[in-house]
């Protein structure tokens, strides 16, 4: 079925869910007045039963309304926006929000405060203000087109938007952040891909969280994109009760490589209000990384990162392999074996990195 027609059959309320998939707590119905719900028929078809990893990502939970720990805008995006819907946090790259819509509203979304709601106002005016800002800010070399999900825009509009970005000479790389290959793979049509491949170097970072999301359809979508020369990355979020176990993440990473998607980030859950019940401990993430590094293909290893509250940016977190750091570097390898390396501290210091 055509993706537009599929989206007309979205489930937007608890009562529209098949009875067997409705949450036990009837109060969950209240959640959707604050945080919108949208499950398209494709993503719905991946749910096998209540409380499974797909169900948890898509179906509202009353705990979303009871979160007293987290913040509306933990990453300080609003105060880092020189114009609405454009976040300029790092010197050479900017995040450009071009739609408020997604094919499915993830319950753990970082921009839960606004994605899919009326408070996220995106119009031709805000898009043009964003383009203007990028024209006037040549320091930005890498534009991350996001939202919402940019691939919910029509082919023709995307064509115009990408052409407008490409017309700015200082922009070297265009990146699209989209969950469509996972949540609505039929969006990746041959026509769309024909549009996208005209704007190279174009990268896509998609977002899979669980091996059950890697299906024949999503595999076909990623193959089409990869065949068009678009490098694909994945930004996975560590989610309690969904993928917070080494075996699950390992299987996910392996399956991603098989569909030519390079694991890019594994994110610690942001402190976004309404998502506290999804957060894991940092130790959990570090244990998972420890189970991957050295044990799996280096291609499979993402950077585990926490996006610092307040807008500090992404901080990479790595298990500690170092035991002593001095004349000798003493460390343990991936299987726990102790090794050492003679440090050339005195001779080398300053030769390369310091003046």
Ligand X SMILES: *Cc1c(COP(=O)(O)O)cnc(C)c1O
Binding site for ligand X (CB under 6 A): 87, 89-90, 93, 95, 144, 314
Q: Which residues of 235-248 are buried (b: 16+ CB within 10 A; e: fewer)?
A: bbbbbbebbbebeb
Q: Is residue 165 close enough to count as binding ligand SF4 by CB under 6 A?
A: no
Of the candidates 149, 213, 270, 307, which one interacts with ligand SF4 according to CB under 6 A? 149
C-alpha 334/C-alpha 71 separation (Å) is 37
Q: Angle at which helices 124-136 and 155-166 pack, to 10 degrees?
A: 20
Q: Is residue 179 close enough to count as binding ligand SF4 by CB under 6 A?
A: yes
C-alpha 260/C-alpha 262 separation (Å) is 6
109 versus 140: smaller Cβ distance to ligand SF4: 109
240, 56 contact by CB (below 8 A): no
Q: Which does 165 bind (CB under 5 to 8 A by kind): ligand X, ligand SF4, none?
A: none
93 versus 187: smaller Cβ distance to ligand X: 93
Q: Is residue 270 close enough to count as binding ligand SF4 by CB under 6 A?
A: no
Residue count (the chain): 355
- Look up residue 276 and give its DSSP letter: G
Helix (H, G, I), strand (E, B) or coil at 355: coil
151 versus 259: smaller Cβ distance to ligand SF4: 151
Of the candidates 11, 87, 106, 171, which one interacts with ligand SF4 according to CB under 6 A? 106
C-alpha 79/C-alpha 83 separation (Å) is 10
Q: Which does 153 bind (CB under 5 to 8 A by kind): ligand SF4, ligand X, none?
A: none
CA atoms within 13 A on the CB side of 54: 20
33 versus 297: smaller Cβ distance to ligand SF4: 33
Q: Which does 203 bind (CB under 5 to 8 A by kind): ligand X, ligand SF4, none?
A: none
Of the candidates 11, 80, 86, 102, which one interacts with ligand SF4 according to CB under 6 A? 102
122 versus 166: smaller Cβ distance to ligand SF4: 122
Residue 57 CB, nearest approach to ligand X (Å): 20
Give the count of beta carbons closer than 10 Å to the beta carbon of residue 295: 13
- CA angle (10, 13, 14) in 5-degree steps: 120
Q: Which does 115 bind (CB under 5 to 8 A by kind): ligand X, ligand SF4, none?
A: ligand SF4
Which range touches ligand SF4 (CB under 6 A), out of 12-20, 42-50, 105-113, 335-343? 105-113
Which range touches ligand SF4 (CB under 6 A), out of 46-54, 108-116, 196-204, 271-279? 108-116
89 versus 290: smaller Cβ distance to ligand X: 89
DSSP secondary structure of 280-337: --HHHHHHHHHHHTTTS-GGG-PEEEEEETTTTEEEE-----EEEESSEEEEE-TTS-
Size of the site for ligand SF4 (CB under 6 A): 10
Sheet holding 338-342, edge to edge: 322-325, 328-332, 338-342
Q: Which does 89 bind (CB under 5 to 8 A by kind): ligand X, ligand SF4, none?
A: ligand X
Site for ligand SF4 in 110-129 (CB under 6 A): 111, 115
57 versus 205: smaller Cβ distance to ligand X: 205
246, 296 contact by CB (below 8 A): no
Q: Which does 106 bind (CB under 5 to 8 A by kind): ligand SF4, ligand X, none?
A: ligand SF4
- Look up residue 203 and give its DSSP letter: E
Q: Is residue 61 close enough to count as binding ligand SF4 by CB under 6 A?
A: no
**Which residues does 22 contact at the CB level (< 8 Å), separation at least 6?**
14, 15, 28
Q: Which residues of 68-84 are buried (b: 16+ CB within 10 A; e: fewer)?
A: eebeebbbbbeebbebe
Q: Which does 179 bind (CB under 5 to 8 A by kind): ligand X, ligand SF4, none?
A: ligand SF4
Q: Is residue 152 close enough to count as binding ligand SF4 by CB under 6 A?
A: no
Q: Which residues bind ligand SF4 (CB under 6 A)?
A: 102, 105-106, 109, 111, 115, 147-149, 179
């Amino acid at each position: 079925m055509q993706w537009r027609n599929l989206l007309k059959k979205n489930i937007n309320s608890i009562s529209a869910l098949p009875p067997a998939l409705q949450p036990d707590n009837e109060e969950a119905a209240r959640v959707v007045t604050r945080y919108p719900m949208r499950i398209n028929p494709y993503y719905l078809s991946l749910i096998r039963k209540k409380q499974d990893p797909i169900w948890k990502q898509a179906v509202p939970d009353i705990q979303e309304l009871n979160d007293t720990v987290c913040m509306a805008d933990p990453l300080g995006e609003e105060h880092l926006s020189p114009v609405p819907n454009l976040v300029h946090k790092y010197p050479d790259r900017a995040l450009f929000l071009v739609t408020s819509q997604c094919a499915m509203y993830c319950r753990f979304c970082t921009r839960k405060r606004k994605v899919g709601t009326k408070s996220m106002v995106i119009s031709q005016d805000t898009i043009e203000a964003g383009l203007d800002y990028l024209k006037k800010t040549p320091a930005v070399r890498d534009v991350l087109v996001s939202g919402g999900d940019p691939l919910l825009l029509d082919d023709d509009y995307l064509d115009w938007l990408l052409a407008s970005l490409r017309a700015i000479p200082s922009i070297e790389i265009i990146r699209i952040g989209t969950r469509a290959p996972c949540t609505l793979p039929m969006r990746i049509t041959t026509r769309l891909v024909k549009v996208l491949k005209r704007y190279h170097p174009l990268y896509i970072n998609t977002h899979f969280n669980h091996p059950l999301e890697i299906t024949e359809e999503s595999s076909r979508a990623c193959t089409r994109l990869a065949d068009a020369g678009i490098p694909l990355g994945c930004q996975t979020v560590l989610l309690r009760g969904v993928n917070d176990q080494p075996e699950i993440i390992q299987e996910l990473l392996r399956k991603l490589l098989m569909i030519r998607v390079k694991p890019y980030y594994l994110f610690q859950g942001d402190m976004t209000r309404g998502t506290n019940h999804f957060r894991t401990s940092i130790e959990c993430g570090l244990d998972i990384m420890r189970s991957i590094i050295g044990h799996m293909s280096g291609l499979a290893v993402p950077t585990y990162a926490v996006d610092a509250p307040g807008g500090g940016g992404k901080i990479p977190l790595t298990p500690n392999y170092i035991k002593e750091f001095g004349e000798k570097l003493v460390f343990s390898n991936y299987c726990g074996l102790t090794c050492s390396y003679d440090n050339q501290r005195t001779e080398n210091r300053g030769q390369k990195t310091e003046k």
